[in-house]
Amino acid sequence: MFTDRSGLIVWISDLKAATKQLDRYGSVHFISKKLHYAAMYVHAAKLEDTIKQLQKLPFVKKVERSYRNELPTEYNSNMPDKTQFYPM
């Protein structure tokens, strides 16, 4: 039901062109007018092709990939519990 998505940060020089054309390549999540970047999601299967297409656009300065999907989100504690040493 859900498709695998990957995040991209697209650094842009023209905000007006970006708002009109970036929707073709994926879903645009946020566009920063102050810092001139767009955060967007694309299909993970088409990630490399989409990055190459985005870099060819005249208003795109740089495209960065988000590594959030590759970071571990489940943490375990190897430290012993110190609460037993302190009396209540």
pLDDT tens readout for residues 55-80 = 999 999 999 998 887 888 787 777 77
In this model, does residue 21 exceed pLDDT 60? yes
Give the bridge partners for 62, in sequence order. Answer: 11
- What pTM was estimated for this model as a whole? 0.76
- Domains and their CATH numbers in the chain: 5-65 (3.30.70.80)
Average pLDDT over residues 37-50: 94
Percent of the residues in the chain that have a pLDDT greater than 70, as a whole number: 97
Under 8 Å between Cβ of 18 and 10: yes
In this model, does residue 1 exceed pLDDT 90? no
C-alpha span between 71 and 69 (Å, rounded): 6
C-alpha span between 46 and 61 (Å, rounded): 20
Burial class for 28, CB neighbours closer than 10 Å (0-12, 13-18, 19+)? middle
Q: Decide which of 87 and 52 is more confident.
A: 52
